[in-house]
Structure 1
Amino acid sequence: MRSRGDVGVFLGMAFGLPWLLWGFEQVTGVRVLFWAAMVSVAVATWVAVRYVWRPAEGVAAATSITPVRPWRRTAAWCGFTFVLFLAMSAAAVALNAVTGVYPADLDGFSALRDAYAPGTAGRSGVPWDLVVRALVANLMQFVLILPLAFCEEWGWRGYLLNRWRDRLGTWPALILIGTLCGVWHLPFFVPAGVDGLWPLLPFTVFCVFFGVLLGWLRLASGSIWPAVVGHAVNNTVVFGFVQVVVADKAAEDRIDGWLTGLSGWQGLLIMGMAIAVLAVRTRRSSGVGVESRQG
């Protein structure tokens, strides 16, 4: 019988290593937590799968890295995921603007100018050169962060989802993993003090929706790669381009995690709709992505 202690090893390392990194930052002042914490999830995955679980089908297959053939299908899912997150973010920002929660500035593009050309503040009209510059900059960041996004997704949606679906069922596994992902980010919020911990609550709620959506993309496609793309595009193009391009600089002090962007009620509603569509599609497919992994 295969070992079932691998999940405990994974969770212990995935949650413990970031706190060690946080302590290292406090002592040395060297900022490594952002990228090293994501890598630590991959380290935890490798140790748990390779040395404790030891699946007969191999590490790559057991954690949904492979198979990726036909590659065109996987590429299509990755492209769909990229567009999906852009569309959801744009829709959320539009609802923010319509409801007056986080006004858009489609006249002066004040937030965009402040971020990329402060000297042009106060001008009107669409600054196409800044739009292109912002897009290129965020696409470059997207490419650079892909390996880090893989590190996280390999653990949460590649390994842990496969292990827990069999024991808990699909929906409980997706929701529990999303919640854990939110709590896992606690070391990132601690430096801001007690007041800085309050945003962790809406962030965790967002992580549940975000994680469930990534999970269904993983299940529908049969591999973790669309989830990797979704994670990377959300951390770069969504935050650094879509919202900055249309945002009103004067409204920045009113940003509330419960109200704006994909973490706001508008964004959660939009992600919920996407989750429902993916869940129905996956359930109706010919077993793609809904295989049971015994272990």
Structure 2
Amino acid sequence: MPALDLPFSLLDRSRTRAGEPDAVAVRATVERAHRAEGLGYSRFWVAEHHAVPGIASGSPAVLAAAVAARTHRIRVGSGGVMLPNHVPLVVAEQFAVLESLYPGRIDLGLGRSLGFSAPVREALRTARTDPEKFLRDVAEVRAYLQGRGPVTARPAVAQAPPMFVLASGAGLTLAARAGLPVVVGGPVLRGPAPLAPYRAAFDDGPAAPAHPYVIVSANVMVAATRGAAEELLLPDAWAMAASRATGAYPPLEEAAAVRRRSLTPKQRESVEQFYDQAIYGSPDEVVAELADLVRRTGADEVMLTTSTYDRDELARADAAIARLFTA
């Protein structure tokens, strides 16, 4: 089985489990990062979700600090900070602190998603997302980190952390206009990958990286058989289906508990859609699918978003996935 010769990374959403305190989820994220470093992963990013029962990570800068303190080499970042929820100066200050404490290891991923529900958006004081305002905010964050802002963000850093845009659809155009690397997932995993316009429109101005850079984000699960991998993905697939009805991901349940549920036709359809956009199976099956994904997208890096109820199985899957890549 030939290994994939490109960087591989993890995005961890601090998924909670049914009947378990939320605090366990964030501590487990930190320990997962420690293991990921030993397995050779290039980056470990944490997410921003607010008031979601199934996700305990609401403050990526704080959680990234804990992850960086528990690791030594792996790059640590946000996947991502949602700019509509924040003032650019504060984002710059938070990541300047991280860069000062852990120089050369910090990434700043930025997105523009709003809260899942109207009450959450009201609590965050964010009613809508404006693409042009997002671009202005991205430029402002970058200016502060590079010491070019209208005021000086402290602590001043010798080297600004790399910035990335989390995008899909129209967001790819925004990433190109910003001249920033892009993290893309979802529909790009199946069918033609719409990344040529991003590369063609990439603005490589003086504040931007020298060339486009694409990280493809994928939900990947490796097990002895495709059926076993499907079973491990079922808790996350059900959470996705439930969120379509409630607007919020529930905590992960055991696969057996999910199978005892009577799913509606719409929920079954949602579960199938989850599997359609996932990459799962035996090591040979998964490496073949990943190789095809990299070929179609021209990806420079793969970022895994793997999740399952059993944390021991998750650790085993992280190790199995790492073996599909060259160090």
Q: TM-score range by the shorter chain?
A: under 0.3
The normalised TM-score by structure 2 is: 0.20
> TM-score if structure 1 supplies the norm length?
0.22
Could you say which structure has the higher strand fraction?
2
Q: Which has the higher contact order (CA 8 A, sep 6+)?
A: 1
Q: Larger Rg: 1 or 2?
A: 1
Structure holding more helix per residue: 1
